Amino acid sequence: MNRFLRALSVPLAIALLLGGCATSRAELKPTGNSAFAQRPEVREYIDQLVRKDGFDKAELQRQFDRVKLQPAVIAAIKRPAESLPWYKYRRIFLTPARVRGGVAFWHKYRSALERAQKVYGVPPQMVTAIIGVETYYGRHMGRWPVFDSLATLGFDYPPRARFFQSQLTQFLLLARQEKIDPFAVKGSYAGAMGMGQFMPGSYRAYAVDFDDNGQRDLWNDPIDAIGSVANYLAVHGWQAGAGVAVPASVKGDPYATRRPAARPALTLAQLRAQGIRPQARLAGGGPYSVIRLDAAGGPEYWVGAKNFYVIMRYNYSPLYAMAVYQLSQDIKRAYHQGASGDAQ
């Protein structure tokens, strides 16, 4: 899930995880006919693919004739889960069932998770938590035809048309590169795919064949998904052994009228000057960011390190990053408690 979420300012939506949105297909039915492929802007786009990327024009024409526009994806993209306050958002992901699922996933793929930590420096609980938040460990990878979703958003959603057209191009290149039937691929309403919900551009750039079987498969191969999520975080600057975030006490409310900056840029001295004090030491050192969350009883403050921002690079929302971090800690505790119990 990744760069598209930052571009949309919606780092992970409930609907994305469930593969859809509250709008029913009866209300917004897909529409499909060759008229879409005859639209001037679509014809120009096809010509660009032929010129720049060497696609066969007749084949592309046949493919775009089959596109079914999905009005429901436009409705879904306008209702991100990140508009929820933190105390409601966290309930979606920080559940005993999701923690148990994470422990089971860690046990089942322990060797791959440990190898990913050695190769990329990302600990097992973090990779597990991201896959747990994104797709409930592969259970909910999306039900939307990716070709249709990206075409709909690329040509019928003006606020992000350029971005989604670029992702449609990446998707078609990915399908050609990996020998995938583009009409067989399903994902989120916004085109994110596989266990880690990679957008097509991220899939091409960061997916890895972690089990060396000759194919990068994020739908059916958890080993590839594990390696790919770890690689994504590593490429974006994950610091092995460093901290992520710690609670903070705040004197006054310096961010009551403005949103704290997500990018870490503050020293400890600057934090203290603003009345913000971390309640624990963050391994790895600064710079730091301030995270303000809407808890049920009022604002809740955390100090984030670079690794918190790296998680946000996966999905640009402090709510998402905090859900991943807290789930990772819950999974880690439950995993090791289970191991201690087994040893007794």
Element (H, E) at 59: helix 57-65
Q: At what angle do helices 306-314 and 124-135 cross, to 10 degrees?
A: 30
Q: Return the half-sphere exposure (C-beta side, CA atoms, 13 A cut-off) of residue 329.
A: 9
Active-site annotation holder among 41, 82, 134, 300:
134
Tokens describing residue 190: 């916004």
Other C-beta atoms closer than 10 Å to the C-beta of 340 total 9
Which two three-digit tokens encode residue 136? 């409930």
**Region for 301 from its dihedrals, namely left if φ exceeds 0, alpha if ψ lies in -120 to 50, beta otherwise:** beta
Write out the two tokens for 225.
């998904």
Farthest-apart Cα atoms in the chain, separation: 70
- Of 230, 197, 202, 137, give the one whose Cα is nearest residue 15: 197
Task: Examine the residue annotation and report whether 134 is marked as an active-site residue of this protein.
Answer: yes
Q: Which residues are catalytic?
A: 134
